[in-house]
Amino acid sequence: VSFVDNYVRALRHGDGDVIVCEDDLEFTPGWIKRLKAGVGELRAHRSRFVLSMYAPWHPGWTWRRSGKHHRPYRTSRFFGTQAMFYPASVREELADYMEEHRRQKPGDLLISQWCDAHHAPTLFLLRGSVVQHVGSVSTGLGSGRHRAWNLLS
């Protein structure tokens, strides 16, 4: 079973919003509070978005669209699906897209490609990573050990 197969399965499991996490990470204290604040802020302005809770490097945001708890995440700089939040409004469509294009690109690049297809800021990042990648083996294209560039404590 591939990474994309498992990711699609996670997106389709249950009802409502979902957090999809990889198994090689640690959560920071207060991560739930920070996630709820970011999601609440985004939902005040949009119903369709993807929210990353981790970035291995500076995500290249534009300040004018930033909120107190979130920032736009340039899809060209996105990689690493360590911890992602998906509202119910995007889950099925994203799962269909990933399933249809599964052989074209790795999973994180499929997510960024899907976000690009919406021609509006769709991919966001919490202001500060709330998880740390602790694994040393990659199942994707990443080599070596990548860590959160701005981990909150």
One pLDDT digit (tens) per residue for the chain, 153 residues? 788 999 999 999 988 999 999 888 999 999 999 999 999 999 999 999 999 999 887 766 555 667 899 988 888 888 889 999 999 999 999 999 999 998 888 888 999 999 998 767 799 999 889 999 887 765 555 555 577 777 777
Between CA 47 and CA 50 the distance in angstroms is: 10
pTM, two decimals, is 0.88
| pLDDT reported for residue 69 | 92
| pLDDT reported for residue 60 | 64
**Between the CA of residue 53 and those of 99, 103, 104, 118, what are the distances in Å?**
23, 26, 25, 21
Number of residues that this document lists for the chain: 153
Helix (H) or strand (E) run with residue 113 in it: helix 107-116
Between CA 139 and CA 150 the distance in angstroms is: 23
Between CA 44 and CA 145 the distance in angstroms is: 36
